[in-house]
Amino acid sequence: MRAMSWGSVTAAAALLTGAAALVGSGPALGDNRWGANYFPNVELTTQDGKTVRLYDDLLKGKSVAINLIFTECTDVCPLETATLVQLKRHLGDRVGKEIFFYSISIDPKRDTPPVL
């Protein structure tokens, strides 16, 4: 089980590195095809009921890791969340300052702010 956990952390770290390269920030952003013209700037609702825009508020100029969830998932979702918790511990204070984690529901009709 330990090897699986570290493998999951490695996979999450690779995802984080890939996401950082996709969105990124700095001078190379203008040459990056993954910017504002690539990501839809759709409105999303946070677990607190606040409306945010995917690109402008969550991605633009940030290094992010995104996982897709639904609260009724009992298979792989809890493992993915546990892996992100391990990764958060590993990254420490960088999370929320340099690196941002977002979980986005694919079942918004059931995954309302009170459920989340």
- Looking at every residue in the chain, the average pLDDT score rounds to 78
Question: Are the CB atoms for 84 and 67 separated by under 8 Å?
Answer: yes
CA-to-CA distance for 16 and 83, rounded, in angstroms?
Answer: 12
Question: Are the CB atoms for 110 and 69 separated by under 8 Å?
Answer: no
Question: Is the pLDDT confidence value at 92 over 90?
Answer: yes
pLDDT digits over 18-67, tens only? 444 444 444 444 556 777 788 899 999 998 989 999 999 999 999 999 98
Looking only at the bridges linking them, the beta strands covering 63-69 and 51-53 are: unpaired
CA-to-CA distance for 81 and 77, rounded, in angstroms?
Answer: 6
Q: Model-level pTM?
A: 0.65
Q: Find, among 96, 29, 28, 30, the residue nearest to 58 by Cα.
A: 96
